[in-house]
Structure 1
Amino acid sequence: MYNGIDLSYHNGSVNFSGVKDAGYRYVILRAGYGKNNIDQAFERYASTCLNLDIPFGIYWFSYALNEDMARQEARCAIESVRQYKTKCLIAYDLEYDSVQYARTKGVNIDRALATEMARVFCEEVASAGYIPVLYSNRDYLINYFDLDRIDAYLWYARYTSTLSDSEKFSCAIWQKTSSGKVPGISGKVDVNEFYMDFENAAAPEENGPSTPQSPACDLHVLLFQKAANADGYRDMNGQPLVEDGLDGPKTRYVRKKIALKAKKSGLKISVGSKGELVKYWQTRSNEILGTSIKVDGYFGKETHTNTGAIQDKLNLSKDYIAGYNSLTAVLYN
């Protein structure tokens, strides 16, 4: 058993390093909803998870009105995640909003229709080599889904302190609260217990083994590497960083050695750190905050102020130092 979270753009800026360091081992991201509507934060979240080596899967919030629409939603979900992972869980999420929306379109989603839409969605997911999962609460298991007809793992939403033995036996994931407090995330977040290792779960046998995608070059990581090399930082082997845009062990090693800050004497703040990394930090702070401080490579009063503002915005400890956590956060926001 291990803990994880699920996220959508409603969770805002997330310090994924803080989440990982707090022991949350798996993330389920909302990839989108309805007819190919991609979640506004999905690409940013997915790229960050990939670069920080955080296992993740996805869910798709359904607004389907029939089986064909549910099948198309599955295809949208598969396409959304394919560039990041060739195997992961893909969950079908049909909830009260889905049923209410259908009623405005003159469609009554009853148990038979809900079951068939879930069945074809999960069938499409499995046929593409991904791991089908059904998200449901107790009410929907009783009134909407016939699990005997849906070939999928169960992601069970039940906000209680414990599950009965039969409930725990039937589900692969338990969403235990929607009001969790997790380091790196401002506000409430869904917290889950996982009872199987989805990262190493076998894909459907008829599709053969699948190979995880290689991380893509990230522009922010690349610019960080260039700045660190220009300032003379070296990896654990005494070598410059390879400028490949991949946030690997050597790049993280260098990032842990950096602490950009101003000088303070009482209430007076003056220039402290200097160099290309300060320019990188100033540029990213302008982009994230919408400010226009001078990008001159001198960490003075304005940069000090922006650093505190970034730490507030990205749910970081406010120490006014651009160290490992702050640099990591601006790489992925």
Structure 2
Amino acid sequence: MAKQIKRKSATKRRPTKKKVFLSGKMIGVITTFFFLLIIVITMYHYRDALAYYFSFRSKHTIENTNATKAEEVRIFQVLKKHEKKVIGFDVSEYQGEINWEETKIVEDTFQLKFVFIRATAGKDKTDTHFRKNWKGSKENGLIRGAYHYYRPNENSIQQAANFINTVKLQKGDFPPVLDIENLPKTQSIDSLKVGLKRWLTKIEKHYNVKPIIYSGESYYKDFLAEEFKGYTFWIANYNFFVEDLKDHWTIWQFTEKGTVPGIEGPVDINIYNGTPKMLNYMLL
């Protein structure tokens, strides 16, 4: 019997996909489109700030700032977003003579309610303008606070005594402030923390109120957050892309390049993370 030969079924060939290549011209068009889209979105986001910058700035503001255009736009943007919060500033002898009768607004628009004034630094330094600034700010209706610039390599008890001998707080003032920004050169971090706690304890015992701690965001995260829980923090963060308060920032110093009438040169600007009523509970 003859063998039947099975025929192989013809395999179906899948149609080959044509590879699509974008020409250099097409890539350029797409890139340009997305670049312009980003510009349009950015301009819309900063529309109020840009309108202020190009139309409404006073002669004083234009002459009195060393901020870049982008920094000025950000300053206005942050203030606009928080205009219902309580806005303030801080000064030291580096601002020179201040005309306190004029320190009412910042960036021509936003009302100023409080000021922190440097009183002392280290174990023996008194800010040369403290007494004048302390008196002038009170007379012109600003809520005032005094801060001590802490020097890590100096005796903490002597530094506390320097502040106590200089600052007489009254009802309606902020609690005293410890400004810690630098790392020690001749002592360990653990020793620094011991010194900070001694300063805070002595100050709290004298004024019968828990002090506020001022520092930068990185310093806070690296050295203060864990061991100083329970304290009120005033945090400096100038990041251009940060426009909102964080929960642990009771007070946020968001720029060092604000413009305030009555003060020559740039000024640190701060926002209190709460309502005016909440702020009153914080005061002495």
Same fold (TM over 0.5): yes
Q: How many residues align?
A: 192
How far off its partner does 1:199 sit? 6.2
Deviation at 1:62, TM superposition (A): 1.0
Are residue 90 (structure 1) and residue 182 (structure 2) matched? no
What corresponds to 1:286 in structure 2? none
Gaps of 5+ in 1: 204-209, 211-333
State the match for 1:8 in structure 2. 92
> In the alignment, does 2:157 pair up with 1:71?
yes
Match of 1:41 in 2: 129
Which one-letter code corresponds to 1:91 in the other structure?
Answer: V
Structure 1 position 8, deviation (Å): 0.4
Amino acid at match of 2:102: G
Which of the numbers 223, 231, 241 marks the counterpart of 1:152? 231
Is 1:117 paired with 2:195? yes
Greater radius of gyration (CA): 2
Contact 2:157 2:199 in 1 (8 A): yes
- CA drift at 1:148: 3.9
Q: Secondary structure at the match of 1:60?
A: strand
Within the alignment, does 1:132 sit opposite 2:218 as a pair? no
Residue 200 in structure 1 maps to residue 280 in structure 2: yes
Q: Higher relative contact order by CA 8 Å / sep ≥ 6: 1 or 2?
A: 2
Q: Is the 8 A contact 2:122 2:149 kept in 1?
A: yes
Distance 1:189 1:50 in 2: 19
Cα separation, 2, equivalents of 1:72 and 1:2: 34
Identity between Structure 1 and Structure 2 (%): 23
Q: Secondary structure in 2 aligned to 1:159?
A: coil
TM-score (norm. length: structure 2): 0.60
TM-score, normalised relative to structure 1: 0.52
List structure 1 segments (4+ residues) > 4 angstroms apart after TM superposition.
Answer: 161-165, 196-199
Contact 1:29–1:45 under 8 Å retained in 2: yes
Tell me the equivalent position of 1:62: 150
Q: Hey, what's the Cα distance between the residues in 2 that align with 1:162 and 1:134?
A: 24
Is 1:187 equivalent to 2:273 in the alignment? no
Is residue 2:147 matched to residue 1:50? no
Counterparts of 1:144-293 in structure 2 under 5 Å? 144-161=223-240, 163=242, 168-196=246-274, 200-201=280-281
What is the rounded CA distance, in whole Å, between the counterparts of 2:194 and 2:242 in structure 1?
A: 28
Contact 2:144 2:174 in 1 (8 A): yes
Q: Which amino acid in 1 is paired with 2:254?
A: K
CA distance in structure 2 between the aligned counterparts of 1:59 and 1:9, rounded to whole angstroms: 13
Residues 2, 27 of structure 1: CA spacing in aligned structure 2 closer, same or farther, 3 A cutoff?
Answer: same
Answering whether residue 20 of structure 2 is matched by residue 20 of structure 1, we say no
**Cα root mean square deviation, aligned:** 2.5
Question: Partners of 1:160 and 1:39 in 2: how far apart?
Answer: 29
